[in-house]
Amino acid sequence: MHIRIILNEPLYAGNIGSIARVLKNFGYRDLVLVNPCPIDDEAWMMAQHAYDLLDGARVFETLGDATAGSNLIIGTTGMRGETTGRHIRMPAYTPERIREKLSGTKGGASVASIVFGREDHGLTNEELMMCDMLMSIPTAEQYPIMNLSHAVAVVLYELSDIGIGDILLADRCDLDLLYEHLEGVLCDLGYPAHKKHKTTLMLRRIFGRAELTAREVYTLRGILRLVDYRLRRG
């Protein structure tokens, strides 16, 4: 699903630049501005290496034009907890819930527009009514209002589904050999028999939690072989 980020009447150019950077950080490109403040040096400075996104941002005069062609319009709000009897702001989904809802929707031509309001007063009731769903980031009651660019960062982080590299975990059979080896070394050390089973299990749990790589298992077994060798020589 294509995600479009719409900033509705943003007041601070620095935020617009920061948000261009965040889009690029998470691999998005579609930035749309409705009646923005002038894009000054502060914006270009905050955009850093995302000047192409800032340069390519489309500008419209109305939110209606900005959301044109969207299959889904998601409004954001920092206000929550109003009664369910009022249908404008409720219910506001968490970013996580929105991600779940968007998952499984067909990609390709589908566009979800996420609309962020002004830094001071957010979206008006009229603007919120144009939205299909509302989203709100769970924050502390004491100070729920986030900086605009931080809110965009959190939403895009949640919605992005980028994997993190390709750590090669150890094979199950290498792990089993490591655990056997550990148990063997405990035996050779003369570890108290009545504690051995429990301790072997503890070692399995520790190394299991650590999610060992193939390389780490190799090095650990090298240490155990050295213990074997020294014990035998002794």
CB atoms within 10 A of CB 40: 13
Per-residue binding string, a second copy, 145-184, x by CB under 8 A, is: xxx-xx--xx--xx-xxxxxxxxx----------------
Strand locations in 9-105, DSSP E? 30-34, 58-60, 72-76, 92-93
* From candidates 58, 129, 189, 197, binder to a second copy by CB under 8 A: 189
Question: Would you say the C-alpha torsion 106, 87, 159, 11 has a positive or negative sign?
Answer: positive
| CA atoms of 21 and 50, how far apart (whole Å) | 5
What is the smallest separation between the CB atom of 132 and a second copy, expressed in angstroms? 11
Per-residue binding string, a second copy, 66-105, x by CB under 8 A, is: --------------xx--xx----xxx-x-----------
Cis-peptide, bond into residue 144, ω within 30° of zero: no
Per-residue binding string, a second copy, 30-69, x by CB under 8 A, is: ----------------x-xxx-------------------
CB atoms within 10 A of CB 53: 21
Characterize the bridge pairing of strands 92-93 and 72-76. unpaired
Task: Give the residue with the Cβ less far from a second copy, 35 or 196.
Answer: 196
Task: Give the residue with the Cβ less far from a second copy, 32 or 153.
Answer: 153
Determine contact, residues 18/7, Cβ cutoff 8 Å.
Answer: no
What is the smallest separation between the CB atom of 117 and a second copy, expressed in angstroms? 17
Tokens of 182: 């550990």
Binding residues for a second copy, rule: CB under 8 A, are 18, 21-22, 24-27, 46, 48-50, 80-81, 84-85, 90-92, 94, 136-140, 142-147, 149-150, 153-154, 157-158, 160-168, 186, 189-191, 199, 202, 206-207, 209-216, 219-220, 223, 226-227, 230-231, 233-234
